[in-house]
Structure 1
């Protein structure tokens, strides 16, 4: 089969097999491979050691035969090796086959032995059969033109090798079986968090309830968690964020429906009233028409605010370098036109204060803060707006050396301590603000815009009374 075909079959097999099975097979294959390689290496070492011992005995036997029979003619020197307990048998082999004795010897003679006799080849060992039994033979130089062949029965060596092979095969089989058990255990233990993660994800998909969590083992020393545990922890964190998001979404929908119910009811009432215009006086029709227009504007503003709050981040293509000092002055001028009865005092840092952002969104943030301050500002007391650079001044070329900070302070009733944690919540309105116009979304939108621009907006009681809102970039 071609390479792409084999790859396709392999991919299909991997898709059909669960991850736990694939991991168990991989661990089993790895451990089994190591076990087989180790056993094979051990077999070769044992075999080499046994033959090395036999070869040493052959070398000693050849030395003794040469010492006892110096200058012997070609022929058999000793032929007892046909018996298991007999000493080595020995023969003298001439380099010239014509000088062979008339009676053939017990040991086989091959051309390589003639070369050793002629000093054309180094001594060597070979495995032979003597009288139907396995034997090991050494062919070495003996005298000029002659070689000495010495042989010993190798039954014990071969039986030892066979015995070692049987034990090593059993060991390898046991190793493969142990590898399978370990592979299953590793896959079951190592993938347990993944299994719990999968089960949790499937349960959330089935129930659409993000409150479920993966059970994590007790924490060890810091930084000692494994990758799977960290993955499960990250998944739990993600589920927590998802739960918060779903809860906030449901709360937003519930709050929006509650806030829209009253103006929509008033709109319907005024629309029905205008539908019966022939029964109304001109003054009544004018009041109903003005009320309908005002309620339409309120509903439109509320819907626009909800749309703005539904957007989590600013569009990147609209981000540019914004002159914050010019933006503050423009926002205060717009607030003066909208709130002519309120005095606005402005202090702006010298030099250009530049931040990256969306000008329209930053302008909306500032106008929300100014409208909130003007709404609570008592008659005759000013709203104070200040732009300063914290930790630095204007750098060369109009750049900023520190972080810009905008503060908006009013002299109204301030923020009660119990209301302070909730002033930026959607639709939250303190007791003192319930009689004032507004939907309770302005400050929530201001904080969202601030965070989308990498800034932080906080509220705090002002010294001497009133509320202070601090916007820090």
Structure 2
């Protein structure tokens, strides 16, 4: 048995899916065609035999009614004619039967029927070289005699043979048609799969995710499972293309942003290597610049590592109170930006609300928003934060009163390394808001930016509340 299973497994591995589907479909249709033909043959044979038996029964009834005065030795040997019945009467007692020869065979069963001890029966036999079907029944009228009626059955057998040949031809044609249909079904049904396979192989060979599978045109309601699979594969390819493009863009932007601070680091390092030629003031200035640039590079690298994370680690997720997290972030911002006035307003309904999340990551999101608002606020200007609970979600807003966001810059606020014209002179790497949006999306939240009424920028964070 294991050898057979191994052979079947090897056969399935060697045969392509199209061939296996064609063989399976052909075998199913062929089996149905052969089964229908076989059932039709059996029904035809049974019905023709039943019709012959009915003729024999009717003939026996007519003989019993019309020739009830026959003696026990009467017989008829007209079985030589196809349409004429052969009739004979046989007594139950052989001693009272003067006739020794009968056209139809007489046996013990015939005597038992004549005596009424055996039911009537049909027999298939040969008389004078001709196929005959005989009906033996008890002769009514108080006599212990049996009536035997026979008809030639060669016409019935000829009809059965003709039906067998005709049904065999139909079955053979059905098998051929099944093979053709199986090939057509496999070729048509697996055409999208073949295109999908070819596209996947082409992408694997070229590493180019811009290829797509051609989809059939028509109503979307008539799409089958294979078409939906191809559509999903195209969507996956689109997501893969965007991911690869974003990765390439991130690497290009990071290399561009790192080039300037690394060049400055190398310059200051080389300058400090000749410290014996510098004055104390020059040496202190170079050392301070080197430390500042190291901190900037470290911050930039850490931000890049954070942006490379696609989702939050599930083991670190816990229930977090956004109100407490906002209060802590605002306190830290006051220490870092003492010249900025931070105000917080929390709705009583949102004060005790909790959401699932990673506390350090959510704290980083809030600190990035607050640092961005403080960076663009004028000295002594306010930064307003508000937390409210409405319509089943937490709504957190951070507003500054700075120059606001230009209409041309608004669509690119959350892009990596994007810095508006007004922000290029300010410190930062252009990754804070991109990181904030990524953290928000990882928590199922939505972070948007808009121009605040009366001037300034307004950032809104919407978090679904359980």
TM-score (norm 1): 0.94
CA deviations on 1:277-330 (whole Å, 9 max, x unpaired) are: 111111111111111111111111111111111111111111111121111111
Closer, same or farther: CA 57–423 of 1 in aligned 2, 3 Å: same
Structure 1 counterpart of 2:138, from 134, 138, 141: 141
Structure 1 counterpart of 2:225, from 224, 227, 236: 227
Alignment of 1:180-259 (within 5 A): 180-220=179-219, 222-259=220-257
The answer to whether 1:5 aligns with 2:3 is yes
Q: Is the 8 A contact 2:382 2:400 kept in 1?
A: yes
SS of 2:221's equivalent in the other structure is coil
The CA deviation at 1:84 is 3.0
Instruction: Identify which range, 106-115 or 222-231, moves more after superposition.
Output: 106-115
Distance in 1 (CA, whole Å) between partners of 2:420 and 2:111 is: 116
Closer, same or farther: CA 268–55 of 1 in aligned 2, 3 Å: same
Q: Is the 8 A contact 1:90 1:151 kept in 2?
A: yes
Q: Is the 8 A contact 1:213 1:239 kept in 2?
A: yes
Q: Is the 8 A contact 1:325 1:349 kept in 2?
A: no
Q: Is the 8 A contact 2:341 2:381 kept in 1?
A: yes
The CA deviation at 1:83 is 3.2
Alignment of 1:294-309 (within 5 A): 294-309=292-307
Distance in 2 (CA, whole Å) between partners of 1:12 and 1:76 is: 74
Residue of structure 1 equivalent to 2:355: 355
Distance in 2 (CA, whole Å) between partners of 1:298 and 1:98 is: 132
Alignment of 1:11-410 (within 5 A): 11-75=9-73, 77-85=75-83, 87-143=84-140, 144-220=143-219, 222-350=220-348, 351-391=351-391, 402-410=392-400
The CA deviation at 1:113 is 2.4
The CA deviation at 1:53 is 2.3
Distance in 1 (CA, whole Å) between partners of 2:98 and 2:442 is: 108
SS of 1:91's equivalent in the other structure is strand
Q: Is the 8 A contact 2:76 2:103 kept in 1?
A: no
Distance in 2 (CA, whole Å) between partners of 1:257 and 1:314 is: 26
Q: Is the 8 A contact 2:132 2:153 kept in 1?
A: yes
Residue of structure 2 equivalent to 1:399: none
The 4+ residue runs of structure 1 with deviation greater than 6 A are: none
Gap regions ≥5 residues in structure 1: 392-401
Distance in 1 (CA, whole Å) between partners of 2:194 and 2:228 is: 14
The CA deviation at 1:408 is 0.6
The CA deviation at 1:376 is 0.4
* Superposed CA RMSD: 1.5
Q: Is the 8 A contact 2:393 2:462 kept in 1?
A: yes
CA deviations on 1:135-175 (whole Å, 9 max, x unpaired) are: 11111111432211111111111111100110000000000
CA deviations on 1:187-211 (whole Å, 9 max, x unpaired) are: 1001111111111111111111111
Instruction: Identify which range, 72-81 or 189-198, moves more after superposition.
Output: 72-81
